[in-house]
Structure 1
Protein backbone atom coordinates (compact mmCIF):
# COMPACT_ATOMS: atom_id res chain seq x y z
CA UNK A 1 0.00 0.00 0.00
CA UNK A 2 1.42 3.42 -0.94
CA UNK A 3 2.54 5.74 1.82
CA UNK A 4 0.69 9.07 2.13
CA UNK A 5 3.88 10.95 1.23
CA UNK A 6 4.53 9.00 -2.02
CA UNK A 7 4.60 11.23 -5.12
CA UNK A 8 4.26 10.26 -8.78
CA UNK A 9 5.30 13.12 -11.05
CA UNK A 10 5.95 12.80 -14.81
CA UNK A 11 9.60 13.73 -14.10
CA UNK A 12 10.27 11.79 -10.89
CA UNK A 13 8.78 9.42 -8.37
CA UNK A 14 9.36 9.67 -4.65
CA UNK A 15 8.41 6.90 -2.23
CA UNK A 16 9.14 5.96 1.36
CA UNK A 17 9.89 2.26 1.67
CA UNK A 18 9.09 0.00 4.62
CA UNK A 19 12.43 0.95 6.27
CA UNK A 20 11.55 4.65 5.96
CA UNK A 21 14.24 5.24 3.37
CA UNK A 22 13.26 7.92 0.85
CA UNK A 23 13.56 6.39 -2.63
CA UNK A 24 13.68 8.75 -5.59
CA UNK A 25 13.62 7.72 -9.26
CA UNK A 26 14.41 10.42 -11.83
CA UNK A 27 12.51 9.90 -15.11
CA UNK A 28 13.53 12.93 -17.16
CA UNK A 29 15.79 15.94 -17.37
CA UNK A 30 15.47 18.50 -14.61
CA UNK A 31 14.36 22.11 -14.86
CA UNK A 32 13.92 24.75 -12.14
CA UNK A 33 10.14 24.10 -12.13
CA UNK A 34 10.64 20.33 -11.72
CA UNK A 35 13.15 20.94 -8.93
CA UNK A 36 10.64 23.19 -7.14
CA UNK A 37 8.05 20.37 -7.25
CA UNK A 38 10.64 17.83 -6.17
CA UNK A 39 11.95 19.75 -3.14
CA UNK A 40 8.40 20.44 -1.95
CA UNK A 41 7.65 16.69 -1.92
CA UNK A 42 11.12 15.82 -0.61
CA UNK A 43 10.88 17.95 2.54
CA UNK A 44 7.89 16.01 3.89
CA UNK A 45 9.46 12.64 3.04
CA UNK A 46 12.86 13.40 4.58
CA UNK A 47 11.13 14.59 7.75
CA UNK A 48 9.54 11.13 8.08
CA UNK A 49 12.89 9.40 7.53
CA UNK A 50 14.57 11.66 10.10
CA UNK A 51 11.81 10.90 12.60
CA UNK A 52 12.51 7.16 12.37
CA UNK A 53 16.31 7.13 11.97
CA UNK A 54 17.39 10.36 13.65
CA UNK A 55 18.78 11.43 10.26
CA UNK A 56 17.45 11.22 6.72
CA UNK A 57 18.24 8.27 4.45
CA UNK A 58 17.76 8.90 0.74
CA UNK A 59 18.43 6.74 -2.32
CA UNK A 60 18.29 8.59 -5.67
CA UNK A 61 18.23 6.39 -8.78
CA UNK A 62 19.35 8.40 -11.82
CA UNK A 63 20.01 5.44 -14.14
CA UNK A 64 18.78 6.26 -17.62
CA UNK A 65 18.05 9.90 -16.77
CA UNK A 66 19.56 12.61 -19.00
CA UNK A 67 22.85 14.22 -18.01
CA UNK A 68 22.33 17.42 -16.02
CA UNK A 69 23.35 20.75 -17.48
CA UNK A 70 25.94 22.79 -15.55
CA UNK A 71 23.22 25.27 -14.52
CA UNK A 72 21.05 22.49 -13.08
CA UNK A 73 24.04 20.88 -11.29
CA UNK A 74 24.73 24.24 -9.64
CA UNK A 75 21.05 24.61 -8.68
CA UNK A 76 20.90 21.08 -7.25
CA UNK A 77 24.07 21.71 -5.22
CA UNK A 78 22.56 24.95 -3.87
CA UNK A 79 19.25 23.24 -3.07
CA UNK A 80 20.97 20.30 -1.35
CA UNK A 81 22.62 22.72 1.06
CA UNK A 82 19.12 23.90 2.03
CA UNK A 83 17.22 20.60 2.17
CA UNK A 84 19.81 18.14 3.54
CA UNK A 85 20.97 18.18 7.17
CA UNK A 86 24.64 17.46 7.94
CA UNK A 87 23.83 13.98 9.32
CA UNK A 88 21.57 12.89 6.43
CA UNK A 89 22.75 10.04 4.19
CA UNK A 90 22.44 10.05 0.40
CA UNK A 91 23.09 7.12 -1.92
CA UNK A 92 23.07 7.98 -5.65
CA UNK A 93 22.64 5.21 -8.24
CA UNK A 94 24.13 6.02 -11.66
CA UNK A 95 24.84 4.30 -14.99
CA UNK A 96 28.64 4.15 -15.10
CA UNK A 97 31.88 4.34 -13.17
CA UNK A 98 32.78 7.74 -14.72
CA UNK A 99 29.41 9.13 -13.57
CA UNK A 100 30.04 7.68 -10.12
CA UNK A 101 33.30 9.63 -9.93
CA UNK A 102 31.59 12.78 -11.24
CA UNK A 103 28.84 12.54 -8.59
CA UNK A 104 31.41 12.11 -5.83
CA UNK A 105 33.27 15.18 -7.11
CA UNK A 106 30.25 17.45 -7.66
CA UNK A 107 28.20 16.74 -4.55
CA UNK A 108 30.32 17.02 -1.44
CA UNK A 109 27.99 15.88 1.31
CA UNK A 110 29.53 14.38 4.43
CA UNK A 111 27.51 11.15 4.19
CA UNK A 112 27.07 10.51 0.49
CA UNK A 113 28.22 7.83 -1.91
CA UNK A 114 27.51 6.77 -5.48
CA UNK A 115 26.71 3.25 -6.68
CA UNK A 116 26.04 1.31 -9.87
CA UNK A 117 23.44 -0.90 -8.16
CA UNK A 118 20.24 -0.02 -6.34
CA UNK A 119 20.77 -3.00 -4.00
CA UNK A 120 24.28 -1.81 -3.08
CA UNK A 121 22.96 1.71 -2.43
CA UNK A 122 20.19 0.44 -0.15
CA UNK A 123 22.58 -1.90 1.70
CA UNK A 124 24.93 1.04 2.34
CA UNK A 125 22.04 3.15 3.64
CA UNK A 126 20.87 0.39 5.98
CA UNK A 127 24.37 0.18 7.53
CA UNK A 128 24.93 3.93 7.81
Structure 2
Protein backbone atom coordinates (compact mmCIF):
# COMPACT_ATOMS: atom_id res chain seq x y z
CA UNK A 1 0.00 0.00 0.00
CA UNK A 2 1.45 3.36 -1.02
CA UNK A 3 -0.90 6.28 -0.41
CA UNK A 4 0.12 9.92 -0.56
CA UNK A 5 -1.69 12.59 1.41
CA UNK A 6 -1.02 16.27 0.73
CA UNK A 7 -0.67 18.54 3.78
CA UNK A 8 -2.85 21.62 3.27
CA UNK A 9 -2.82 22.80 6.92
CA UNK A 10 0.30 22.65 9.12
CA UNK A 11 0.27 20.32 12.15
CA UNK A 12 2.60 18.55 14.59
CA UNK A 13 2.80 14.89 15.57
CA UNK A 14 4.39 13.59 18.77
CA UNK A 15 6.19 10.33 18.08
CA UNK A 16 6.87 8.01 21.01
CA UNK A 17 6.15 8.38 24.70
CA UNK A 18 7.34 11.50 26.51
CA UNK A 19 9.09 9.27 29.05
CA UNK A 20 11.08 7.54 26.29
CA UNK A 21 14.30 8.81 24.76
CA UNK A 22 12.71 8.07 21.36
CA UNK A 23 10.17 10.92 21.86
CA UNK A 24 10.17 13.41 19.02
CA UNK A 25 7.87 16.17 17.80
CA UNK A 26 7.54 16.19 14.03
CA UNK A 27 6.25 19.30 12.29
CA UNK A 28 4.37 18.99 9.01
CA UNK A 29 4.09 22.15 6.94
CA UNK A 30 1.74 23.10 4.14
CA UNK A 31 3.05 21.50 0.97
CA UNK A 32 4.58 18.47 2.71
CA UNK A 33 3.56 15.00 1.65
CA UNK A 34 2.54 12.29 4.09
CA UNK A 35 3.24 8.90 2.51
CA UNK A 36 1.47 5.90 4.05
CA UNK A 37 3.83 3.05 3.24
CA UNK A 38 2.26 0.10 5.04
CA UNK A 39 -1.20 -1.23 5.86
CA UNK A 40 -2.45 -0.54 9.41
CA UNK A 41 -1.26 -2.83 12.17
CA UNK A 42 -2.39 -3.23 15.79
CA UNK A 43 -0.20 -2.37 18.76
CA UNK A 44 -1.30 -3.95 22.06
CA UNK A 45 -2.89 -1.42 24.42
CA UNK A 46 -2.17 1.40 21.95
CA UNK A 47 -4.50 0.90 18.98
CA UNK A 48 -3.92 0.91 15.24
CA UNK A 49 -0.85 2.40 13.58
CA UNK A 50 0.42 2.92 10.05
CA UNK A 51 4.00 3.32 8.88
CA UNK A 52 4.40 6.77 7.29
CA UNK A 53 7.08 9.03 5.80
CA UNK A 54 7.20 12.80 5.64
CA UNK A 55 8.32 13.76 2.15
CA UNK A 56 11.36 11.57 1.41
CA UNK A 57 12.50 11.11 5.02
CA UNK A 58 12.69 7.86 6.97
CA UNK A 59 9.53 5.99 7.94
CA UNK A 60 7.98 6.07 11.41
CA UNK A 61 4.74 4.80 13.00
CA UNK A 62 1.75 7.14 13.27
CA UNK A 63 -1.59 6.52 14.91
CA UNK A 64 -4.21 5.56 12.31
CA UNK A 65 -6.75 7.53 14.37
CA UNK A 66 -4.53 10.63 14.11
CA UNK A 67 -4.36 10.27 10.31
CA UNK A 68 -8.16 9.87 10.15
CA UNK A 69 -8.64 12.96 12.35
CA UNK A 70 -6.35 14.97 10.05
CA UNK A 71 -8.43 13.93 7.05
CA UNK A 72 -11.70 14.71 8.85
CA UNK A 73 -10.38 18.19 9.75
CA UNK A 74 -9.32 18.71 6.09
CA UNK A 75 -5.65 19.15 7.08
CA UNK A 76 -4.63 16.51 4.52
CA UNK A 77 -6.09 15.77 1.09
CA UNK A 78 -5.93 12.71 -1.12
CA UNK A 79 -4.95 13.08 -4.77
CA UNK A 80 -8.62 12.82 -5.73
CA UNK A 81 -9.53 15.59 -3.25
CA UNK A 82 -6.93 17.84 -4.89
CA UNK A 83 -8.20 16.99 -8.37
CA UNK A 84 -11.80 17.72 -7.33
CA UNK A 85 -10.72 21.06 -5.85
CA UNK A 86 -8.93 21.92 -9.11
CA UNK A 87 -12.05 21.03 -11.08
CA UNK A 88 -14.16 23.27 -8.83
CA UNK A 89 -11.74 26.22 -9.06
CA UNK A 90 -11.59 25.87 -12.85
CA UNK A 91 -15.38 26.09 -12.90
CA UNK A 92 -15.33 29.16 -10.63
CA UNK A 93 -12.64 30.83 -12.80
CA UNK A 94 -14.75 30.28 -15.92
CA UNK A 95 -17.80 31.63 -14.11
CA UNK A 96 -15.87 34.74 -13.04
CA UNK A 97 -14.63 35.29 -16.59
CA UNK A 98 -18.15 35.05 -17.98
CA UNK A 99 -19.49 37.54 -15.45
CA UNK A 100 -16.33 39.73 -15.68
CA UNK A 101 -15.87 39.52 -11.90
CA UNK A 102 -12.18 40.35 -11.45
CA UNK A 103 -12.11 39.85 -7.68
CA UNK A 104 -13.66 36.39 -7.88
CA UNK A 105 -11.29 35.52 -10.73
CA UNK A 106 -8.22 36.50 -8.69
CA UNK A 107 -9.37 34.54 -5.63
CA UNK A 108 -10.14 31.34 -7.54
CA UNK A 109 -7.10 31.60 -9.81
CA UNK A 110 -4.91 31.85 -6.69
CA UNK A 111 -6.58 28.83 -5.11
CA UNK A 112 -6.24 26.90 -8.36
CA UNK A 113 -2.52 27.69 -8.48
CA UNK A 114 -2.12 26.64 -4.84
CA UNK A 115 -3.80 23.26 -5.38
CA UNK A 116 -1.96 22.70 -8.68
CA UNK A 117 1.30 22.92 -6.72
CA UNK A 118 0.38 19.86 -4.66
CA UNK A 119 0.37 17.65 -7.75
CA UNK A 120 3.79 18.72 -9.01
CA UNK A 121 6.48 16.04 -8.90
CA UNK A 122 8.79 18.12 -6.78
CA UNK A 123 7.82 19.29 -3.31
CA UNK A 124 6.26 22.74 -3.18
CA UNK A 125 6.63 24.38 0.25
CA UNK A 126 4.72 27.37 1.57
CA UNK A 127 1.94 27.21 -1.00
Bigger relative contact order (CA 8 A; separation at least 6) = 2
Structure with more helix by fraction: 1
Instruction: Give the TM-score, by structure 1 length.
Output: 0.21
Quick check: which has more Rg, 1 or 2?
2
